[in-house]
């Protein structure tokens, strides 16, 4: 009878240990997910702010303001202006490439291309 009791006790301890390990793993996964969410939210906000800055600077340039005066007005370097404009240009190129990729993936019927044998 003692052997059965020992086996039952051992199984219960093993189940408790497994449950504790699973609980800790779930808590860790939740912490990682929360940290990843915060990270990507911040990264997206930074990217959006950079684009907004580039658009603001481009608007001033389009109005004819020299880059040197814009830099002085904003209290930034002309290199910062170039970086902002490059970021804006990179985003526009990515949007064009994405639009082309979407067009390239369209079915032949949708684009009017048909192979007639």
113 within domain boundaries: no
User: Quick check: 117 pLDDT over 50?
Assistant: no
Q: How many domains does the chain have?
A: 1
CB 81 within 8 A of CB 71: yes
Give the tokens for residue 32: 């990682």
Arithmetic mean of pLDDT over the chain: 87
Count of CB atoms situated within 10 Å of the CB of 80: 15
Count of CB atoms situated within 10 Å of the CB of 84: 22
Express each pLDDT in 64-116 by its tens digit: 999 999 999 999 999 999 999 999 888 778 877 777 777 666 555 555 555 54
114 within domain boundaries: no
Does this model's pTM top 0.75? My answer is no
Q: What angle do CA 111, 113, 116 make, to 5 degrees?
A: 155
| DSSP at 98 | H
Range of the domain at 61: 2-103
86 within domain boundaries: yes
37 within domain boundaries: yes
């Amino acid at each position: 009878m003692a052997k059965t009791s020992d086996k039952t006790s051992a199984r219960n301890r093993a189940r408790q240990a497994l449950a504790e390990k699973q609980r800790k793993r779930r808590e860790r996964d939740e912490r990682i997910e929360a940290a990843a969410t915060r990270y990507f939210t911040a990264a997206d906000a930074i990217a959006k702010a950079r684009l907004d800055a580039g658009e603001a600077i481009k608007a001033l340039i389009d109005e004819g303001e020299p880059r040197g005066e814009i830099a002085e007005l904003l209290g930034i370097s002309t290199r910062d202006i170039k970086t902002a404009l490059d970021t804006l240009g990179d985003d526009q190129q990515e949007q064009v490439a994405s639009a082309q990729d979407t067009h390239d993936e369209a079915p032949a019927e949708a684009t009017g291309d048909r192979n007639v044998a």
